[in-house]
Amino acid sequence: MTRHPIAADGSLDFPPADTAPAPVSFAEWHRAATDAPPAPVLPPDASLLVIAAHPDDEAIGAGRLLADHRGLVRCVTLTAGEHCHGEDADAGQVSRLRLREWAEALAVLGAEPVETTRWPDGGLSGHEDEATEALAGLATGVDFLLAPWQHDPHPDHEAAGRIGASLARRTGLPLWAYLVWTPYWLTPEDLARRGAGLLTHPTSERAERLWREALDCHHSQLTAQPPASHPVVPAALLDRHDRQLLIRETHACHA
């Protein structure tokens, strides 16, 4: 299959849809997830600060966990995802739509959207220090941080993961990483080369139902928006998210 080249630093540039690499084998991911025996990862009453690069990231990658979680869950999105429909789309209109979808999805999951500074969609890597500083106040009283995995194959996701790691180092909070595009474009062997081990966090049937309801709120991402002939988030990507997978970012914390 055609694979997008991975740079020496482990990053993978996010390509446009017409040059995107082919999805990796679903069987590989099913086997990798099955080899990660389910075990509770986060205490059910802990307070969480969830970091996303785009308004649908946490729903895709951590929605089941959030739906089941009994403790306080506060969510921030560092961009409004305003460039997802291309240069010809009205960025302001897309931004408003996506933030509305984000708030609706979080309401389904029982999580609280938190307003904070937002940076340019596609350009988050140029604002990592600013974003870490902006989030520092929100981490007060929080027990755990969640952020995209630092090698999830999208530059904004990678940046959000590094921001989460910087915040974890600054605050001493434990950081867990969730996956978005990783199960679609990277193999389990790609994770192993980066020293990442999958953990399966068990979730309920109710969480499964609410996860799907939350995803449905992101209509602009799951359906083709003219003139595009395909959605931003392909159905095959969601098929790879057949359970709640996490990665412990142990290197991000003190101790």
Tell me the residue range of the domain where 167 lies.
Answer: 47-252
pLDDT in the model for residue 32: 77
Q: What CATH code is carried by the domain that includes residue 219?
A: 3.40.50.10320
Say if 65 falls within a structural domain.
yes
pLDDT in the model for residue 212: 98
* CB hemisphere CA count around 222 (13 angstroms): 19
Cα 146 to the chain's mean position, in Å?
9
Say if 205 falls within a structural domain.
yes
Say if 230 falls within a structural domain.
yes
Q: Give dist(CA 249, CA 128) in Å, integer.
A: 18
User: Which residue stretches of the chain have pLDDT < 50?
Assistant: 1-14, 16-18, 253-255
Say if 165 falls within a structural domain.
yes
Say if 101 falls within a structural domain.
yes
Say if 61 falls within a structural domain.
yes
pLDDT in the model for residue 68: 97
Q: Give dist(CA 214, CA 110) in Å, integer.
A: 10
pLDDT in the model for residue 33: 73
**Which residues are CB-contacts of 127 (< 8 A; sequence separation ≥ 6)?**
119, 120, 159
CB-based contact 181:210 (threshold 8 Å): no
Say if 22 falls within a structural domain.
no
pLDDT in the model for residue 251: 53
CB atoms within 10 A of CB 115: 8
Q: How many domains does the chain have?
A: 1
The letter for the amino acid at 157 is H
pLDDT in the model for residue 10: 39
Say if 13 falls within a structural domain.
no
pLDDT in the model for residue 20: 58
Asked whether the bond before 38 is cis by omega within 30 degrees of 0, the reply is no
pTM of the predicted model as reported, rounded to 2 decimal places: 0.90
